[in-house]
A and B are shown apart, each in its own frame.
Chain A
Amino acid sequence: MSRFAELRKHLFGGTTSNARQFGMIFTLVGIVALFEILTNGLTLNSGNLITLVSQYSYILILAIGMLMVIVAGHIDLSVGSVAAFVGIVVAKSMHTYHLPWPAAILLGLVVGALIGAWQGFWVAYVGVPAFIVTLAGMMLFRGGNQAIGNAETIAVPQGFRNIGAGYLWEVGPDTGYNNLTLLLGLLACAAVVVREWRARKTRQDLGAEPAPLWVSGLRLAIILAVIVFATLRFAGGRVGTSFPISGIILAVLVLIYSFITRNTAGGRHIYAVGGNSRAAELSGVKLRRVNFLVMVNMSALAALAGMIFIARASASGPQDGLNWELDAISAVFIGGAAVSGGLGTISGSIVGGLVMAVLNNGLQLLGVGSDQVQIIKGLVLLLAVALDVYNKRQGRFSVIDSIMRPFRGSTPIPVTPTPTPTGTEPAKTPVAG
């Protein structure tokens, strides 16, 4: 095997993989580089990176929940309205009823989960399609927001604002950088190294051949370089700013949910339900419970996103959360999820969300009007998915985001994504075309 073929095989996971995700990482790098040049270095400067994270963290949080909803074969159109509804409830509880802010956050999460239980009940136990249930929810909770807030804006107290507008504290000696952010970066580096090492060891223990040492080394070097660069940028911003608290919340959620979707029985069940619900049922998966929990989880995350948003905006208003569902859904599909369910990853959705975020941000920096931004975003979504469909049809060599996941047998790519009811073999074209 040539060096190049070897690199390709190990870096991108050979035959089992997810082409779109990997392609999206390149797209993301490309878009970042493009805007970096067009904006004369504004894109990757500290201030902008910090804004980018705090401005889009709530969309990415929604994308996490949405990924699971879509993998299970549903959709949630109500997330923006739910976020707005929870926002106003939380704001009012603090403003009018003087609830302390930690209690208000708890209240918000509970309200979100209850809304999710309401929607999950209709989806899982009554069997109304999620599209309809959440379309109804979209109207219901938008109306609820305006009813509770009298269509007015309600301010939130200072302590609460930290979850959306806060940064890591300044502690320790004066290094010219934010010390906690540096520490965080160091931890991330250590975690990546340990992970790569353990992945190699697991493969060895199983008797499978691990990637050659130099491939591991190269992969590590790239990731570490990115982390170090980001750390210095985030830590080196204007004094008083650093890595945003909302970014930390997001990072923690990404870690937790990646673990859940990849490594737990519950996560497996979501993929099983979306991939073939009848087969899942006959394997002992409790369909209704899975569907119910996925919907509950989505609304709880929407509640969190709504709170982070009002914390950043320092007030809750009637227009909050408009069109969020569109951004979240786009992120998930750009990130490689299948419309028919059963396929997709958290990391992919985050990359998809970042593509949208950088695009938005870059275009704004360039002073492009919001009308044109919409048009460009729409085209990007369409092209990203079309390219993927085209690649699948060509039966191309498929590649993986093994940069992010050194050891994982990921889901394969079927040639046509939907197994039809007659059980046609995915590798074939219907006879009558």
Chain B
Amino acid sequence: MSEAPVLLEMRSITKEFPGVKALSDVNLAVRAGEIHAICGENGAGKSTLMKVLSGVYPYGSYAGEIVYQGQEVRFSDIRASERAGIVIIHQELALVPGMSITENIFLGNEPRRLGRIDWKSANRKAAELMKLVGLNEDPDTLIKDIGVGKQQLVEIAKAFAKDVKLLILDEPTAALNENDSQHLLNLLRGFRERGITSIMISHKLNEIEQIADSITIIRDGRTIETLDVKGQGINEDRIVRGMVGRELSSRFPDHTPNIGEVFFEVSDWWVRHPVSAERMVCKGSSFNVRRGEIVGFAGLMGAGRTELAMSIFGRSYGTYLSGRIVKDGKEIELKNVADAIAHGLAYVSEDRKAVGLNLLDDIKTSVVAAKLSKISKAGVVDKAKEYQAAEGYRTSLRIKTPTVDEGVVKLSGGNQQKVVLGKWMFTDPDLLILDEPTRGIDVGAKYEIYGIIQRLADQGKGVIVISSELPELIGLCDRIYTVFEGTITGSIERRDADPETLMKLMTSTKKMQMS
């Protein structure tokens, strides 16, 4: 592999934003036909580097040079890089939810005949592309009606509609489940055989270990090293060492749980889908949480875990039909989110951009947004207290930012997630529900977040963790509920939790005897 010629070389790239040096003197060399992974902590500068490469940040807004196919290139915008065959799929998908798969694939790139869109050839080509990426859907299906896994495939099909030579994927599997991720990785292997070069950013190191030919590690905006996977026998621990600069012996902090009484109990919870009346998203779910306990919810994508959590959190999803919530021995009714917050519930959503944050806000206003009453008197916000609260979380959660006056848009994905976490810790909840809390978060920060979760539990709070990563649930939780199509199918104690048992319960309707 290493004999292949260098396709792309980025030399001493430096990129500054007002007040932040995101990249300094970064070098990257990618060989033709390889899969090149880029690893680094949140805010290391991975996405920024790829945006420089793809012309999102045009020539002139950064220093350094890009040599592609032996020539220096200066892209003025994203179209210029696309003409050169460099296509980027961003960390957040850029599809139009109300348009069909075909329309999205050819958006901005429509095949024309005599000035009109040639739908016949568009449909034919779309079918070919969909076959190429293994997407089994009607091309007229709307994007909003297919899952994230398939949406990701549409993005790739869209890239291939553009004659791609170098494909850049920024955390393509962050929102995907195990199966969809594997499908995508196989696809990339297929592309490699056809001579297409890929650059992939991911925090899922096991995937990188599986698929990458070489790995470039970036830390604090600098290139640390480039590893040759096959030649050097690279494993996950080696990558982690490069990323964080020290050995990380375990992925989960040591923790001795101190579990008390059941304090939160949901029984026979029925919720209907918001639009289709005959679909139930929660079918008589019952579960409980004890003080000091970390409870996991395992299930496949679409099992209804998010829906269950949100419907409990002030009926913010679907139509509530029936069910009881008992907290500290008293039945409570949570008719809206304000009620839920007042009763000590907090819900950290899985989609921080769409529903977790107001992207126009700065960090400090975001952190206090869910409990303004805590820092205000007679409705007047005390800005000094606000600043102090935000500063507190900036240090304790290690949010990477010069000041808390900074806008949340400017933070890297992982740091935005920490802001959301801080926002809900600020409400002093008794029960903290975390929906995919470590999505898009680097290994080091994951370790920190696990530590935070454990500390919250030690303070006597209950924590619910919804996650698609079984190892995470197994490593972190004291007990795990499994959910299949809206039904809770089992409750597994920590000592009995293994991937096979969980997987079985996550994929069958047969209820296990509750322990």
**A3 in contact (CB, < 8 A):** no
The 6 closest A-B pairs by CB, nearest first: A412-B407, A432-B108, A275-B358, A409-B405, A423-B353, A265-B372
Flag if B353 contacts A282 (CB, 8 Å). no
Flag if A265 contacts B381 (CB, 8 Å). yes
Given contacts A282-B355, A429-B77, A431-B87, contact A265 B379 (CB under 8 A): yes
Flag if A432 contacts B91 (CB, 8 Å). no
Flag if B372 contacts A412 (CB, 8 Å). no
Of A20-28, A40-48, A266-274, the one touching chain B? A266-274
Question: How far apart are B77's CB and chain A's nearest CB, in angstroms?
Answer: 7
Bound-complex Cα distance A40 to B438 (A): 67
Q: Which of these, B349, B360, B406, contacts A15 with CB under 8 Å?
A: B406
Bound-complex Cα distance A425 to B362 (A): 15
Flag if A423 contacts B351 (CB, 8 Å). yes
Flag if A431 contacts B94 (CB, 8 Å). yes
Flag if B369 contacts A268 (CB, 8 Å). yes
Bound-complex Cα distance A282 to B370 (A): 8
Q: Which of A1-45 contact B (CB under 8 A)?
A: 14-16
Other A-B contacts than A16-B407, A429-B78, A430-B94, 14 sampled, CB-CB below 8 A, are A15-B19, A263-B380, A271-B358, A276-B355, A280-B358, A280-B369, A283-B337, A284-B340, A284-B341, A422-B95, A422-B96, A422-B97, A424-B93, A427-B56
CB closest chain-B residue, reference A274: B360
Question: How far apart are A121's CB and chain B's nearest CB, in angstroms?
Answer: 19
Question: What are 23 A-to-B residue pairs whose CB atoms are below 8 Å?
Answer: A15-B18, A263-B380, A265-B373, A271-B358, A272-B369, A276-B354, A276-B355, A280-B358, A282-B347, A283-B370, A284-B340, A284-B371, A338-B360, A343-B360, A414-B360, A421-B97, A424-B93, A427-B51, A428-B94, A431-B155, A432-B107, A432-B108, A433-B77
Q: Which of B55-106 contact A (CB under 8 A)?
A: 56, 61, 77-79, 87-97
Question: How far apart are B310's CB and chain A's nearest CB, in angstroms?
Answer: 8
Q: Which of B174-203 contact A (CB under 8 A)?
A: none
B residues less than 8 Å from A343 (CB atoms): 360
CB closest chain-B residue, reference A412: B407
Q: Which of A248-277 contact B (CB under 8 A)?
A: 263-266, 268, 271-272, 275-276
CB closest chain-A residue, reference B151: A422
Range of interface residues on B (Cβ < 8 Å): 35 or more
Bound-complex Cα distance A209 to B384 (A): 14
**A205 in contact (CB, < 8 A):** yes
Digitize A273-302: 1 where CB-to-B-CB distance is under 8 Å, 0 elsewhere: 001101111111110000000000000000
**B479 in contact (CB, < 8 A):** no
Given contacts A419-B353, A431-B90, contact A411 B337 (CB under 8 A): no
Given contacts A16-B405, A412-B362, contact A279 B381 (CB under 8 A): no
A residues less than 8 Å from B379 (CB atoms): 264-266
Bound-complex Cα distance A275 to B89 (A): 26
**A87 in contact (CB, < 8 A):** no
Question: How far apart are A126's CB and chain B's nearest CB, in angstroms?
Answer: 18
Q: Which of B378-394 contact A (CB under 8 A)?
A: 379-381, 383-384, 387-388, 391
Question: How far apart are B332's CB and chain A's nearest CB, in angstroms?
Answer: 15
> Residues on A close to B: CB < 8 A?
14-16, 202, 205-206, 208, 263-266, 268, 271-272, 275-276, 278-286, 338, 342-343, 395, 397-398, 409, 411-415, 419, 421-433
A residues less than 8 Å from B155 (CB atoms): 431
**B286 in contact (CB, < 8 A):** no
A residues less than 8 Å from B78 (CB atoms): 429, 431, 433
Flag if A414 contacts B359 (CB, 8 Å). yes
Bound-complex Cα distance A226 to B159 (A): 58
Digitize B302-338: 1 where CB-to-A-CB distance is under 8 Å, 0 elsewhere: 0000000000011010000000000000000000111
Flag if A433 contacts B108 (CB, 8 Å). yes
Bound-complex Cα distance A187 to B373 (A): 33
Given contacts A268-B381, A409-B364, A433-B108, contact A279 B94 (CB under 8 A): no
Flag if B336 contacts A286 (CB, 8 Å). yes
B residues less than 8 Å from A428 (CB atoms): 51, 56, 90, 92, 94
Flag if A423 contacts B90 (CB, 8 Å). no
Question: How far apart are A166's CB and chain B's nearest CB, in angstroms?
Answer: 32
> Residues on B close to A: CB < 8 A?
18-19, 51, 56, 61, 77-79, 87-97, 107-109, 155, 158, 313-314, 316, 336-338, 340-341, 347, 349, 351, 353-362, 364-365, 369-373, 376, 379-381, 383-384, 387-388, 391, 403-407, 409-410, 423
Given contacts A265-B381, A282-B347, A409-B364, contact A426 B61 (CB under 8 A): no
Flag if A276 contacts B92 (CB, 8 Å). no
Bound-complex Cα distance A374 to B404 (A): 44
CB closest chain-A residue, reference B355: A278
Flag if A427 contacts B18 (CB, 8 Å). no
Flag if B381 contacts A427 (CB, 8 Å). no
CB closest chain-A residue, reference B144: A421
B residues less than 8 Å from A419 (CB atoms): 353-354, 359
B residues less than 8 Å from A282 (CB atoms): 313, 316, 337, 347, 349, 355-356
Bound-complex Cα distance A279 to B410 (A): 18
Q: Which of these, A279, A286, A425, contacts B338 with CB under 8 Å?
A: A286
Flag if A342 contacts B347 (CB, 8 Å). no
A residues less than 8 Å from B387 (CB atoms): 206, 208
Question: How far apart are A320's CB and chain B's nearest CB, in angstroms?
Answer: 35
Bound-complex Cα distance A338 to B90 (A): 25
A residues less than 8 Å from B90 (CB atoms): 424-425, 428, 431
Flag if A411 contacts B361 (CB, 8 Å). yes
CB closest chain-A residue, reference B107: A432
Flag if A276 contacts B359 (CB, 8 Å). yes
A residues less than 8 Å from B360 (CB atoms): 271, 275-276, 338, 342-343, 411-412, 414
Counting chain A CB atoms within 10 Å of each CB, the highest count among B360, B362, B380, B384 belongs to B360
B residues less than 8 Å from A398 (CB atoms): 18
Flag if A284 contacts B338 (CB, 8 Å). yes
Bound-complex Cα distance A282 to B384 (A): 25
Bound-complex Cα distance A343 to B365 (A): 14
B residues less than 8 Å from A429 (CB atoms): 56, 77-78
Q: Which of these, A202, A275, A433, contacts B359 with CB under 8 Å?
A: A275
Bound-complex Cα distance A264 to B381 (A): 5
A residues less than 8 Å from B93 (CB atoms): 422-424
Question: How far apart are B122's CB and chain A's nearest CB, in angstroms?
Answer: 14
Bound-complex Cα distance A76 to B383 (A): 31
Bound-complex Cα distance A422 to B388 (A): 33
Bound-complex Cα distance A398 to B362 (A): 15
Q: Which of these, B61, B92, B316, B347, contacts A423 with CB under 8 Å?
A: B92
CB closest chain-B residue, reference A286: B338
CB closest chain-A residue, reference B313: A282
Flag if A422 contacts B94 (CB, 8 Å). yes
Flag if A268 contacts B356 (CB, 8 Å). no
Given contacts A15-B19, A284-B337, A431-B94, contact A272 B406 (CB under 8 A): no
Q: Which of these, A281, A284, A414, contacts B409 with CB under 8 Å?
A: A414
CB closest chain-B residue, reference A432: B108
Counting chain A CB atoms within 10 Å of each CB, the highest count among B56, B351, B364 belongs to B56
Question: How far apart are B499's CB and chain A's nearest CB, in angstroms?
Answer: 31
Bound-complex Cα distance A202 to B383 (A): 9
Given contacts A202-B384, A430-B94, A431-B90, contact A425 B107 (CB under 8 A): no
B residues less than 8 Å from A15 (CB atoms): 18-19, 405-406
B residues less than 8 Å from A265 (CB atoms): 372-373, 376, 379-381
CB closest chain-A residue, reference B109: A432
Flag if A426 contacts B359 (CB, 8 Å). yes
Question: How far apart are B466's CB and chain A's nearest CB, in angstroms?
Answer: 15
Q: Which of these, A271, A412, A422, contacts B410 with CB under 8 Å?
A: A412
Bound-complex Cα distance A261 to B365 (A): 13
Flag if A205 contacts B384 (CB, 8 Å). yes
